[in-house]
Structure 1
């Protein structure tokens, strides 16, 4: 069987140019000169409160904060290597013989499920993938609809089965065995170690979905043991694990500990004995922990970066390293059906944000340079985002990056061959005047109050929000828009998003698989698989006719692109037209890319850098050093990586 991993034509992070600032004085030897340092056995890293886990069952979440941990405890068919390429995992062989109508995955026969104590519970078999997909598509088992969008859009009968389960009572749906599912849905298991998927149409990128939770397995034995009604709420002590690590400790708001799974199938890989993820208030606090040796890596806030960069005598001056871009494209997402704290509609905001001129005035008028400097004061504009889809995801057959085509369609200006910024102060001022006139006629009061929430107690988050507040005031005028900074205690989702209190949220999306549909499909109107529409923008609850018409037109453009499966150039062009429409109407506003500076004992070039999937935080085969890497080390890593 031909392995599609060998002829994968999708974008790889390796195609990106990697640059580092040579700020070292040359006084210290690099590891390349003095030989390899001792590697870390027990890694300690960090997260910030807004990225705390909220779910531990891998099929019940689409949040990166959860999946960054769960990709270590659960595994699917395939993995990704440091250059983002698909490589064999549990599937030792995979491919398609009909351009993506049918996909076959042939599994290893030595993978075990274990409990939290490492006791073997069951062999992993093909039926585990059937069990998981049935759970995902069952509307009463998976009532939140997480991970449904990909199967529904790709696999035969998936949409019909979900609709069928909706027609049942909860009791009937929970008691379903897999016979009806196998009758309706395009998945089969010819033997215990082979899984075959039948797609609705030619889907040449289907194998990239294999590194997404929607195609991850779960054992029927686990469900039988805990009870189907308890699957979503089960604790880490009751979970079954098949990944390289077991989640042995999770103290909400404090630490998570991953411990090496001694029964893990890949006996030749390099794993840490333990990985501890500490929750720190912000990276400024994290810097202090790095300084005392309590954590092994830290991103640098503006103040710390500036202090180190500008002082050649600083002990860390020769150790500054610029991180590789991650896979997330961050957007400014508006809430089109905002509520007040008493549960009533925030009519003033909802009326204002439905107005296209109001949104466009923000799109063209808001200069975020000072915000970018908070993360990267050395090269702030490298963080500027111009599109919705992440650059490097897919390419046209002539080598043109899809995002370059989007930038062409939105008429992003060029200067000396380089794309310029979307900022247009004159145009923004005209749009502001238009919006004030149109909205005043509808009774909108100015300034329009925009509510933005940050974690309570985080000085760094407050400083960043204050800079954003100043950006709005300086660029658009606080007589026009007033950004209010609110706080939440522990969960943005539960305290803010669920009650729909936010006006705006800055949220990043990283593709689950290698196609543009996974980006644009999150914003469509009237579709339950559209993650952002259902959870953040609340566009389906909006009432303004013109706004709804705009969203429906965008949705039609996306669905027309979805239907094109034979010619990828034609498909990408159709998506580019839809994305350009979204941006021109300022339905969402590109915000930033994450390209920060760090001090680290981790070689980022040994870590997976796939543009899609959930495997980039998998602590497998990482190169580390008990001594921090220098700027010079990273320059050599980059040179070798880009050969």
Structure 2
């Protein structure tokens, strides 16, 4: 199955003077210094447990799976040397390379990676008492017997379930996975899944060793630490100081002997983007994302030493949306009737869609080219293409009948429609006892001044767009855990959240919003439409779910499949069940060529410190123009 990828990158305002020849660079970096915000500290070292990018950005360097991708997003071999399906995706066979080693924290050999390790890991994922339902959605939706095994363990006594292994008949006789031999692994799907090989880029199908479990125990792996896990990736974590640093050291027994790895990678935890900027200016970091204030200070001063080093980042791989909470609770856990009644009203939601002007808020992410951040779809751009090279979200836009993106405005804004829907919403909601203005509660991390500043800009955008008589944004804060303190208690009116694809199919996006699955992440964690008292809202979600399931059933014609998914996505957006928010396209100073990084639209691998081109001198806008030109030329040739 071939996909044509279009290169959509555009030269930035600073990088207009493109050069055709790659510049001569200084020495490459041997020991890399990167950073992460303290609010995004790693929560687990268990590769099978995590569902957070803040975790997997680290863990992808410690573990390898069956496949990975290259700098153009093309799926490439990793532990699997090759793979095939002979029945349009019903059965998949992966042929593993020999000699892939498990090592401990210090790089000492612990064993060899074999097909059995993938059975061990899948048993762990699907065992309710081991993995607490984390990362079960894709295996249960795709692999024969997976849901049956999960349900079986869920109903079992905890001690009995924890004692099971991949060799136990309960698993071996139920789940569609087998080790044909040490180096041949086979999956049997519930139905034809022609995209199943892309699922192997996500950590739900990564391997672990039974030898490790025998050594540290089930409880040891549930509470995994850098000291007790076994590694098969490019690095091991040789030092971890929580909220301070992580040190990754090159794995001396790494299977990919041709890979370019750093001798070490130090990840510094910082409290804010401003702190990171200061560390960059003192030479303590090799890259930094720029806040709006730092960017404009440099950009507006041509004599600033960093002016010619400003480069616009590539879009991150997430599509961000406004996710409404349809079953909001007050702090005392009583129902917020005013909000819940309002948000169930379609005219009210369409006011957000047609009336909320986010231009000023986009400047918080990209002050130079703010409307590059404009998002008008749910699925991330560039995930999939039709056989003639049409990018999937273009199909969605055609069905919505919206004006083409012009680079300077939010093309969905329509003042006439907004006023019409505002009048309709106020009339209908007043009749239902709703009082105005309606207060929309939004949470940011306590003490994070950057997040608070952005929220205040958003608050002003609400005031400018809606008027203080209609919708008012209330900013609140949480202390340490957004999930535990806010989402689990349903305290938010809406959340701004981004989804990065786990695999290469629209199902991974739209399946998060359906009303028929406990694994629909956004429905269960944020939206709660199934708990709404509005029959009209529930009916819309039922229709949407039916469209998604209809699309998912098409497996013999991928163009027809994508067309059907586009119909479902357009339905969701037309009824404003969610509202697209933004793309993250920011600016940076860097000694890393981002165009040399893995560039997959799915999986956990994009922050893998592997085969990166670097320079001890910072790259310039001119350098990045050359990188972009070369990347575009090469990407256009890929089929």
1:541 and 2:534 correspond = no
Cα deviation code 1:60-84 (max 9, x no counterpart): 1221111111111111011111111
Q: Does 1:641 align with 2:635?
A: no
Question: Which of 493, 497, 500 is the aligned partner of 1:507?
Answer: 497
Question: Of residues 150, 164, 173 in structure 1, which corresponds to 2:138?
Answer: 150
User: Shift of the alpha carbon at 1:204?
Assistant: 1.8
Aligned with residue 450 of structure 2, among 457, 460, 467: 460
1:107 is aligned, of 73, 96, 101, to 96
Is 1:20–1:634's contact at 8 Å kept on the other side of the alignment?
A: no
Worse-matched range after superposition: 475-484 or 408-417 = 408-417
Partner of 1:10: 3
Aligned residue for 2:129?
140
Q: Counterpart in 1 of 2:80?
A: 91
- How far apart, CA to CA, are the structure 2 residues paired with 1:224 and 1:314? 58
Change (3 A) 1:57 1:284: same
How far apart in 2 are the matches of 1:259 and 1:31?
Answer: 34
What is the aligned partner in structure 1 of residue 115 from structure 2? Answer: 126
| Contact 1:24 1:317 survives alignment (8 Å) | no
Hey, what's the Cα distance between the residues in 2 that align with 1:57 and 1:365? 44
CA shift for structure 1 position 210? 1.1
Give the drift of 1:400: 1.6
1:491 counterpart = 2:484? no
Aligned to 1:620: 610
Give deviations 1:431-474, integer Å, cap 9, x for gaps.
Answer: 12222222222222222221111122222111111000000011
Q: Is the 8 A contact 2:359 2:409 kept in 1?
A: no
**Which runs of structure 2 are paired with 1:406-425 in the superposition (5 Å)?**
406-414=396-404, 421-425=411-415
Per-residue deviation at 1:230?
A: 4.5
**Equivalent in the alignment of 1:175:** 163
In 2, Cα distance between equivalents of 1:165 and 1:562:
28
- List gaps (5 residues or longer) in structure 2: 634-639
> By how many angstroms is 1:18 displaced?
3.6
Q: Is the 8 A contact 2:139 2:204 kept in 1?
A: yes
Answer yes or no: is the 8 Å Cα contact 1:25–1:318 preserved in 2: no
Instruction: Note the alpha carbon deviations across 1:481-525, whole angstroms, 9 max, x for none.
Output: 221111222222222222222221111111111110011011111
User: What residue is the counterpart of 1:40 in the other structure?
Assistant: 29
Partner of 1:526: 516
Say which SS state the counterpart of residue 395 (structure 2) adopts: helix
**Corresponding residue of 1:572:** 562
Aligned counterparts of 1:55 and 1:177: Cα–Cα separation in 2:
22
Aligned partner of 2:637 in structure 1 is none
Cα drift, residue 197 of structure 1: 1.0
Residues 237-293 of structure 1, C-alpha deviations (whole Å, 9 max, x = no match): 222211111123333333322222222112221111221222223323322221111
CA shift for structure 1 position 117: 2.8
- Residue 118 of structure 1, CA deviation: 2.5
Q: Tell whether the 8 Å contact from 1:357 to 1:434 is kept in structure 2 after alignment.
A: yes
Pair 1:40–1:158, CA change in 2 (3 A): same
Which of 378, 392, 396 does residue 382 from structure 2 map onto?
392
- TM-score by length of structure 2 reads 0.94
Report deviation, 1:419.
Answer: 9.9
- CA displacement, residues 155-213 of structure 1 (integer Å, 9 cap, x when unaligned): 22222222232332323322223322221121111111110111222222111111101
| 1:127–1:301 Cα change, 3 Å | same
Instruction: Return closer, same or farther for 1:361/1:324 CA change in 2, 3 Å cut-off.
Output: same
Q: Give the secondary structure class of the aligned counterpart of 1:551.
A: helix
Q: Identify the range of structure 1 (229-238 vs 316-325) with the bigger mean alpha-carbon deviation.
A: 229-238
1:354 is displaced (CA, Å) by 1.7
**Distance in 2, Cα, partners of 1:409 & 1:251:** 51
- Distance in 2 between the 1:592 and 1:415 partners? 13
> Could you tell me how far apart the structure 1 residues matched to 2:225 and 2:593 are?
33
Partner of 2:147: 159
On the 8 A contact 1:354/1:547 being kept in 2, the answer is yes
Aligned in 2, Cα 1:520/1:258: closer, same or farther, shift over 3 Å? same
Tell me how far apart the structure 2 counterparts of residues 30 and 404 of structure 1 sit (CA, whole Å): 31
Per the TM alignment, residue 565 of structure 1 is displaced from its structure 2 partner at its CA by 0.8
Provide the aligned length of Structure 1 versus Structure 2. Answer: 631
CA RMSD of aligned residues (A): 2.2
Match for residue 325 of structure 1?
315
Contact 1:30–1:632, Cα closer than 8 Å, also in 2: no
Residue deviations 1:310-332, cap 9 Å, x none? Answer: 22111111111111122110111
Extract unaligned runs of 5+ from structure 1: 1-7
When structure 1 is superposed on structure 2, of 625-634 and 256-265 the one drifting more is: 256-265
Per-residue deviation, 1:478: 2.2
Q: Could you state the TM-score of these two structures normalised by the residue count of structure 1?
A: 0.94
Q: 1:419 to 1:556 in 2, by over 3 A?
A: farther
* Contact residue 412 and residue 419 of structure 1 kept, 8 A: no
Aligned match of 1:4? none
2:281 is aligned to 291
